[in-house]
């Protein structure tokens, strides 16, 4: 459990969001010291609690994405619940939400109302397509965005259908981008003397950036990039190759010097002098030949021997890992990339450590995701709501 300080200590974040991008953003802010208050409906807790695998009724993903967050069960649609929320907003630095555009406005809790209550508030609004435009009101999940972003079109074998990721790729990219947006807004407010502001972040725009310059290529050349399998149009050899004992190994030669080392290692240094070998894009046009040389050499050897030979030669290679190999990897273990976090119901859970390493204010994991409404009384007491008033709210189902 973390005993170190984070750079965001003293910052209060209200998290009214669910699966997955916006809660990931507030998780990262909490990892680095922010006091994050996770707000859920009293009768319908965040669906993220049941998302993915669970043990003894506890969602394992929830224990991570809700870590370092105190939990408040509060009905924002109820007039009294909305009043409690407004009191919270007056104490907050950041509000994170991912309701459909217009939802909070219908409850009298839109940006204009909340900004008037707290001019220093930064409001992060995460949606599929943004707060405006012809698609703004459409329901959207990461799967749809991964399809529309060009990612699926460019992923998979050339003669096979487009491929979607088996994990929340668009959401995760957006969540990490959202942290940057919040920190920029905080810098503007605190370093430059500005006010709070509203951040309009869609799932689509960050992953478009991650997928790369395909729209620019199409605009200037009319060329639409197509699926390359595990190859690249930018360099070769670049592929997955199978060793004699059945291990899949990834090889990349983004640097020309590495390409020369690889072909020397596999016994075909003669191609290095070919004019086309000098650039990655022209090597990619000879990928069949280069894959034959590299893949044939690897197929005659066991995986461990291949890894050792490539490492000794200064060539880039890595094994394709499952979750088991990730957990067992000595690099992962030496850097505490995965850490065990105490949990009241499960004993402990293995989680990803904080996202990056700060030498002076590293932050850390203070506690795993908490029970529904576990901190309701404490948070309401901090707002000077008396015990009898809390009981009255609870009896009406406004809080849990």
Q: At what angle do helices 256-265 and 303-313 cross, to 10 degrees?
A: 130
At 68, list the tokens: 């370092």
Question: Exactly one of 171, 200, 302, 377 is catalytic; which is it?
Answer: 171
DSSP 332-388: HHHTTSEEEEEETTTEEEEEE--SS--SS-------PPPPTTTTHHHHHHHTT--HH
237: preceding bond cis by omega (within 30 degrees): yes
Sign of the Cα pseudo-torsion (357, 363, 367, 371, in order): negative
Active site residue 348: no
Q: Between the CA of residue 227 and those of 234, 284, 292, 346, what are the distances in Å? A: 13, 14, 20, 43
20: preceding bond cis by omega (within 30 degrees): yes
User: CA-to-CA distance for 265 and 314, rounded, in angstroms?
Assistant: 10
Q: Which of 288, 297, 292 is nearest to 315 (CA)?
A: 297
∠ CA(343), CA(345), CA(351), 5° rounding? 35
Annotated active-site positions, please?
Answer: 171
């Amino acid at each position: 459990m973390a005993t170190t300080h984070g750079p965001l200590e003293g910052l209060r974040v209200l998290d009214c969001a669910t699966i997955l991008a916006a809660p990931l953003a507030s998780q990262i802010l909490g990892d680095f010291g922010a006091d994050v208050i996770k707000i859920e409906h009293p009768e319908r807790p965040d669906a993220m609690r049941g998302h993915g695998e669970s043990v003894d009724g506890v969602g394992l993903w929830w224990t991570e994405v809700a870590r370092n967050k105190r939990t408040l069960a509060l009905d924002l649609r109820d007039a009294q619940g909305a009043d409690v929320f407004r009191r919270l907003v007056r104490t907050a630095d950041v509000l994170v939400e991912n309701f459909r555009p217009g939802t909070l406005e219908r409850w009298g809790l839109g940006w204009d109302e909340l900004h008037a209550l707290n001019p220093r508030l930064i409001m992060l609004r995460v949606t599929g397509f943004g707060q405006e435009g012809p698609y703004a009101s459409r329901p959207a999940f990461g799967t749809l965005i991964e399809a529309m972003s060009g990612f699926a079109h460019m992923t998979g074998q050339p003669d096979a259908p487009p491929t979607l990721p088996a994990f929340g790729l668009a959401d995760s990219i957006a969540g990490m981008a959202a942290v940057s947006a919040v920190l920029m807004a905080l810098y503007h407010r605190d370093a430059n003397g500005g006010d709070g502001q509203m951040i309009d972040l869609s799932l689509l725009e960050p992953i478009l950036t991650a997928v790369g310059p395909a729209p620019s290529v199409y605009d200037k050349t009319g060329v639409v990039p197509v699926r390359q399998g595990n190859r690249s149009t930018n360099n070769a050899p670049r592929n997955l190759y199978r060793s004699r004992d059945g291990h899949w190994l990834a090889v990349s030669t983004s640097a020309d010097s590495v390409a020369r080392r690889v072909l020397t290692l596999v016994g075909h240094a003669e191609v290095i002098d070919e004019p086309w070998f000098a650039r990655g894009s022209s090597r990619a046009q000879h990928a069949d030949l280069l894959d034959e040389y590299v893949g044939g050499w690897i197929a005659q050897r066991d995986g461990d021997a291949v890894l050792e030979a490539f490492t000794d030669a200064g060539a880039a290679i890595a094994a394709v890992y499952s979750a088991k190999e990730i957990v067992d990897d000595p690099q992962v273990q030496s850097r505490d990339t995965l850490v065990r976090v105490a949990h009241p119901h499960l004993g402990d859970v293995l989680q990803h450590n904080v996202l990056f390493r700060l030498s002076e204010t590293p932050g850390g994991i203070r506690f795993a995701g908490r029970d529904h409404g576990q901190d309701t009384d404490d948070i309401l007491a901090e707002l000077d709501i008396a015990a009898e008033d809390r009981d009255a709210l609870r009896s009406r189902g406004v809080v849990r």
